[in-house]
Chain A
Amino acid sequence: MARQKPYDGVALCAPVTTPYVRFSDQTAHWWAGAALAALARQTGLGPADFDGFCFASFSAGPDTVVGMVQHLGLSPRWMDHIPTGGASGVMALRRAARAVQMGDAEVVACVAADTNQIDSFRQTLQGFSRFSQDATYPYGFGGPNATFALIADNFMREYGVTREDFAKLCVAQRTNALSNPLALMKKPLTHEQYMQARPIADPIHLFDCVMPCAGAEAFIVTTPEKAQELGLSTARLAATIERHNAFADDPVQTRGGWARDIDDLWAAAGCTPQDMDMVQLYDDYPVIVAMQLADLGFCDKPALSRFITENDFTIAGSLPLNTNGGQLSAGQAGAAGGFQNVTEGLRQILRCPLGDQIPDATRALISGFGLVNYDRGVCTGAAVLEQDVLR
């Protein structure tokens, strides 16, 4: 297989997060515009200045990126629509990076925006995908909770991972969230509270679940020269992987596409998991966080329980995890939930975190996981980001 070529001449900058709200009477268009306005405030760029636009959303229907471009007055020479939810951040990053590197665009705004109106979550689920409409939701309509309950049920027995382990991940993320003023969860979460939470779909309990909300995330992919001209701090894209519908024959999902391509990621990045100052992992459920830790090379699956026990996942800990609180504590704003791992990773290495700063952080591992089309997440991706220039 052809090796990945380096992302030379690509600069990642200007991560923005619009403050989330639990319910919003606004539309995805409004939230996307809010994210662009935040980018404009940070960079001074206006609609005419972006020649690339990459968009992710679940709730913009009937519009795609096309409708959004006209709605928001953009005139890009390159655009892309990324309907892959939790994997959309990494995928937007990859696509925008190559467009900039090859000169198809110079300044790409990558935006994920979703609203959450009363009852819109149910409606989104109902029409989410053909397989889920035919073969998942009619089975109790537990939503993603039920699907991940089946995955967790199998994973926990297969690899000896326990609720205690999940508790540790969730409690750590909540601790991280407490320093993030934008996190929806404001109260500490204790181990006991986690363990005693009401069951939602066994073995999934309340604090294993994200809270759907409205919000938007955005960042800019451009050239180092343009970033310098704008006075923006930048990060480099060291390496990426992406894989969809991997291991389709696995009866129940116990691994994602990362497991297939992880060696390529570390080879291209020229570093190892141990070199990472943080991991920003897609965290719709702690079982998926655990799965990623293994598939991304931090430990073997049978060793997961011990690995979790031996590490501290808080910002001050041995392996800071989802330092903004992740979706579990900051909220899941639809497709923006698949962008916040990118924006938070960028902020940490660009030294502009929403909450506490990981001391001396320069390298971030970002991992995305998206789209439960039927019985498992189909889309996976990962990226290694490195601090480049601080301005």
Chain B
Amino acid sequence: MSKPLLADLAMALASGQVRVIDLTNTLSPDFPVIVLPPEFGQCAPFRMEKLSRYDENGPAWYWNNISMNEHTGTHFDAPAHWVTGKDLPSNTVDAIPAQDFVAPAVVIDISAEAAADADFVLTRDFLEQWETAYGTIPPGHWIALRTDWYKRVGTAAYLNLLEDGAHSPGPDAGAVEFLVHDRNCVGLAVETVGTDAGQASRFNPPLPAHSILHGNGRFGLQCLTNLDQLPTFGAIIVACPLKIEGGSGSPLRVIALVEGKAA
């Protein structure tokens, strides 16, 4: 009988052979949310009102009421978030099988391209060339797009919202079709505020990542940080959204398990 898998993992975790990387941005009132044209409903930023802090409203305890949108901060997009996924089974965060919340990731580094061109578009061609260099993307993986965009958090360059709209990298329809249908990905995990490029509402079809991922029951993870600490292959992402009844997504703590001692 082979050794129990989890026992190996447990030993590796205990010894530090497997490390846990936090991929989550801090939820704070300052963290930006996606901006839509003013006439649409607006994504609520994170807000916190103190209930008590060892004071007259609670002498021995400290707690806050918090409020936010389902898509505030580091968050998870369920298929029901998009109209294309509205009729899929188990399309809301409460219904998604827990099995799907833990999955391996393949990290595609487009940080150089994104640095050179904020509007860099990830294409099927680019992915095929990438596979030539690094190997085929295995099925059942999160596709983590490393853009180093998280380093822009706290500056206007994060949303990068100019008069002609936002400017941030993302995939075109061909790339998403390839990842979903040919590589059977779990979802797309990005550091930007959305899985789609900033200018993706002008793409044809518009907003291909949301449209195609969610239309096919796949997930999105946005506003991640520290993707530069993950290996190209071999990381496991744990991303458990809050179990909100009928929820379209959820802020969450995202962590990654990686092999090897800290440098």
Whether A and B touch directly in their complex, counting CB atoms under 8 A apart, is answered as no
